[in-house]
Structure 1
Amino acid sequence: MQSPPTPSPAGRFSWASRNFRIQTAATVISGLGNAGAPIATAFAILDGGGSTADVGYVTAARLLPTVLLLIIGGALADRLPRHHVMVGANLFSAVSQGALAALVLAGEPTLWQLMLFSAGAGAGYAFYSPASGGMILESVTPEHAARAFSVYRMGFNGAQIGGAALGGALTAAVGPGWVLALDAACFLAAAALRFLLEPQAPTAPAEAPAAGGGMLRDLREGWHEFASRRWLWVIVLQFSVLVACVGAVEAVYGPAVAKDRLGGARDWGLAMAAYGVGLVATGVLMARWQPRRILLVGNWGVFLFGVPALALAVSAPLPVLCAAMFLSGVGVTVFGVNWMIALQQEIPAEAFSRVAAYDELGSLSLAPLGTALAGPAADLLGLSGALWSCAVISLVLSVAVLLEPQVRRLSRRPADHPADTLPEPAPTH
């Protein structure tokens, strides 16, 4: 049984607990730095004479430890106080990004150094992310879930707008090293805020992990919760390929096109800021809109994920590219809010972080390979050909996932319905 969230003062946001407000504020702060860091890293490589392939290798080095460590992070987040896990992960990421900033500021870092410290940031994220999702889950009541997830994403996405625009402008004005230093400082500030979170027991004593069960047992139980829901693993399979394509576009191809055909880091920062505007603007809508078929509606948003690849492939001018990035942000929020609602209503709270870890592990499983191969793919197909391929793959996946009946039919349930009760299997004919 979940401990009741500490209530907030009466008013418009009376539903928002103290933990929710602190976690949201910390996410905004860390998001400001994180939004600019990929832009800074990409242009540190390109401005130093590196290739598109080098950008892909560094991005893959960041993603690989995330993939390898996510399930361990999820198991720890369901066993230990989640705010402690997040604080430790934020501090580790601050050290890693600080070291990367120092290398870039000191001169021209080698490729292996960039890969090493980028991997450190990826490892920190692997422990932070599952704990973060669990903390938000337990900090609000089910009847306010849609509003809470929308407000939380608006805060995070608002940071993406400011962070991307600021990161692009600072990268162009003072260099990428200072943007990476800002990212490290934001991680430190977020860790300090999360230290103030109140611990809340996610389970009743009877539901606590069995003595001597160990982490392997926790992981097996989490896998059972994940694998027993077909709608869940079908969408994760979809995202395993989709995230690889989107990651290649945003981390590798986008900066390369901006450097060659647009105004460099400043223009790519503006495009990423437009993406953030789409995220935030749609968050306002999702705070009020409560569609019944949550996964069906969420997947309509996925159809927009490939629009930026199309704009980049046809060498669209900056205003058109910004519009494409805006639409992509709309799609991400429509999917993301509905996805979190589906997880909250279908996954038992005591297993949430482990299931979230399996979700993210599967979704990111091909991302390191996708970014590592982005450069060679561009050499083979040409930059426009690689971008067209990403756009077509995104569209095909968005259609294919709708063949699964559970994805089309999973419906929002009343707030008082038990969250750990499985729905009746959706008919398959």
Structure 2
Amino acid sequence: MTTPAAPRPAPLRSRRPEWADRNFLLLTAATVVTNLGTHGALIATTWAVFESQGDAGDVGLVAMARFLPLVLFLLVGGAVADRLPRHRVMVSANALNCVSQAVFAALVLSGEARIWQMMVLTALCGTGQAFFNPAAEGMLMASVSGEQASRAFAVFRLAMHGAAIGGAALGGALVAFVGPGWVLAIDAVAFAVAGGLRAFLDVRNVPERKPGGGLFADLREGWQEFVGRPWLWSIVAQFSVVVGLIGAVESVYGPLVARDELGGARPWGIALAAYGAGTVAGAVLMTRWKPRRMLFVGTLCVFPIALPSAALAVPLAPAGLTAAMFVSGVAIEVFGVSWMTTMHQEIPEEKLSRVSAYDWFGSTALLPLSTALAGPVEEAVGRSEALWGAAALMVFVTALVLFVPDVRNMTRRPHTEEVSAGSPGAPPPDVPLPRQSPSADAEGTVRRDG
């Protein structure tokens, strides 16, 4: 008599959420790796300049060399990312960053690094970032769909901010123990690993791009998409001012107040750490909270970003400044997730990278000017007055944005009404099809994107 076979155990269900597909996981893992390396490398670069007998002015020159090509090539990078496969643009940019950082590390370790060489190499790194950022933002939005998009973005930003905090802490420790050259070498390896991960992105379900009319035609089409949406260009204009003011406050006024009024660099370092902790807390919050009027809620959360400027203007005791920085971090993260969700919902897939490039460009345009004018403004009106003015201007431009009807009234669409590939009324796809930062971050450097 044959014994009946024992029933097979039911297969275990994957604990991975529906929205965390293979591409999303690869993008998140790659961003964690690069943020761990990059935020340590930023500290290492400053110490490399000092070891080469450079002064504060040289530090500014090296930083500017990275920033200028980022601004100059962003629009071209966005157009290229909408013409070519985005994952190839990202891998190529990572390769350029890997090579430039490896050469930088070799020069520093040899003791032969010169300021002009550092400027050239950081300019190459900034160029790579200009092409990477729009492609990364478009690819990230391509990796999620449906009602859980905002949760996916929140998880991504949580991982990004956590890696940034850890990278800065680890990088600072390693600079002290092994020197800046080895930290730069680690950053080169991180870019190589991240590029390898991104090379495995699955793009079989990405719709083929229709041939365009050339690079300038693509830029013009992206511009028309940008200016045709009042909610988009008004918030980018707002953040052009806000990001510029934050740059002046955090790069110039904050350290000066800490030195002269709060007892040194330690309170300022703790306040910056509190800001980072706030962004993590905000990301955790946004994994659970999905406000219906997402753009309105996000814009309201820009008002608390003025708190650190006001706290420095008083100035508050270190505990009060730390609290203000934490609240500011939470608030900017609520905005960041809301902004990404809005872009995901409203912008056609084939134009995502170009629109993101205009977003990045507008948001960073005033940063060099504002930091350059911070010193002269302080001499003209006084430090406290300059800080109060910065806080008031942030509040003023944010209040102006609330007069835009779409900012107040735009709502989150249900999954059944969601746009596929940006075409109004099209049904959602059966598989996740392609759908930002201040960055951002993906690996961006802009406060709005973390």
Distance 2:103 2:382 in 1: 35
User: What do the CA deviations read for 1:154-185 (whole angstroms, capped 9, x no partner)?
Assistant: 11011122122223344455554444333333
Is residue 77–residue 130 contact of structure 2 (8 Å, CA) maintained in 1?
yes
Q: Tell me the residue number matched to 1:248.
A: 248
Corresponding residue SS for 2:55? coil
TM-score by length of 1: 0.85
Distance 2:290 2:395 in 1: 25
What letter is aligned with 2:63? T
Q: Tell me the residue number matched to 1:184.
A: 188
Percentage of pairs with the same residue: 53
What letter is aligned with 1:145? A
Is residue 60–residue 371 contact of structure 1 (8 Å, CA) maintained in 2?
no
Q: Tell me the residue number matched to 2:361.
A: 361
Distance 1:352 1:422 in 2: 15
Matched, 1:145 2:146: no
Q: Tell me the residue number matched to 2:101.
A: 97
> Structure 1 residue 131: deviation in Å?
0.9
What letter is aligned with 2:354? R
Distance 2:109 2:140 in 1: 36
> Structure 1 residue 318: deviation in Å?
4.7
Is residue 96–residue 125 contact of structure 2 (8 Å, CA) maintained in 1?
yes
Q: Tell me the residue number matched to 1:209.
A: 210
Label 1:374 to 1:166 Cα distance change in 2 as closer, same or farther (>3 A): farther
What letter is aligned with 1:50? D
Q: Tell me the residue number matched to 1:6.
A: none
What letter is aligned with 2:400? A
Alignment coverage as a number of residue pairs: 409
Is residue 44–residue 171 contact of structure 2 (8 Å, CA) maintained in 1?
yes
What letter is aligned with 1:358? Y
Higher mean Cα deviation, 413-422 or 379-388? 379-388
> Structure 1 residue 361: deviation in Å?
1.1
Give the 5 Å matches for 1:377-388. 377-378=377-378, 380=380, 384-388=384-388
Is residue 162–residue 273 contact of structure 1 (8 Å, CA) maintained in 2?
no
> Structure 1 residue 396: deviation in Å?
2.2
Q: Tell me the residue number matched to 1:36.
A: 40
Q: Tell me the residue number matched to 1:293.
A: 293
> Structure 1 residue 375: deviation in Å?
4.5
Is residue 301–residue 334 contact of structure 2 (8 Å, CA) maintained in 1?
yes
Is residue 240–residue 366 contact of structure 2 (8 Å, CA) maintained in 1?
yes
Matched, 1:235 2:240: no
Distance 1:49 1:345 in 2: 47
User: What do the CA deviations read for 1:49-94 (whole angstroms, capped 9, x no partner)?
Assistant: 623x554444333222111111111111112121111111112122
> Structure 1 residue 369: deviation in Å?
2.3
Distance 1:391 1:54 in 2: 29
Give the 5 Å matches for 1:195-344. 195-200=199-204, 202-203=206-207, 208-210=209-211, 213-254=213-254, 264=265, 270-314=270-314, 316=316, 318-344=318-344
> Structure 1 residue 119: deviation in Å?
2.1
What letter is aligned with 1:118? T
Distance 2:295 2:40 in 1: 31
> Structure 1 residue 377: deviation in Å?
4.2
Distance 1:251 1:100 in 2: 24
Matched, 1:50 2:55: yes
Q: Tell me the residue number matched to 1:68.
A: 72
Q: Tell me the residue number matched to 1:134.
A: 138
Distance 1:148 1:191 in 2: 22
Distance 1:319 1:18 in 2: 43
Distance 1:168 1:90 in 2: 23
Gaps of 5+ in 2: 1-12, 426-450
> Structure 1 residue 232: deviation in Å?
0.3
Is residue 161–residue 279 contact of structure 2 (8 Å, CA) maintained in 1?
yes
Q: Tell me the residue number matched to 1:426.
A: none
Distance 1:101 1:378 in 2: 37
Label 1:421 to 1:82 Cα distance change in 2 as closer, same or farther (>3 A): closer
Label 1:177 to 1:250 Cα distance change in 2 as closer, same or farther (>3 A): farther
Q: Tell me the residue number matched to 2:165.
A: 161
Label 1:70 to 1:245 Cα distance change in 2 as closer, same or farther (>3 A): same
Label 1:385 to 1:49 Cα distance change in 2 as closer, same or farther (>3 A): farther
Gaps of 5+ in 1: 1-8, 424-429
Is residue 57–residue 372 contact of structure 1 (8 Å, CA) maintained in 2?
no
> Structure 1 residue 349: deviation in Å?
0.8
Distance 1:79 1:189 in 2: 25
Distance 1:100 1:166 in 2: 19
User: What do the CA deviations read for 1:278-303 (whole angstroms, capped 9, x no partner)?
Assistant: 11111121112111111111112212
What letter is aligned with 2:167? G
TM-score by length of 2: 0.81
Label 1:302 to 1:312 Cα distance change in 2 as closer, same or farther (>3 A): same
Corresponding residue SS for 2:415? coil
Q: Tell me the residue number matched to 2:28.
A: 24
What letter is aligned with 2:150? A
Larger radius of gyration: 2
Label 1:201 to 1:15 Cα distance change in 2 as closer, same or farther (>3 A): closer
Is residue 56–residue 252 contact of structure 1 (8 Å, CA) maintained in 2?
no
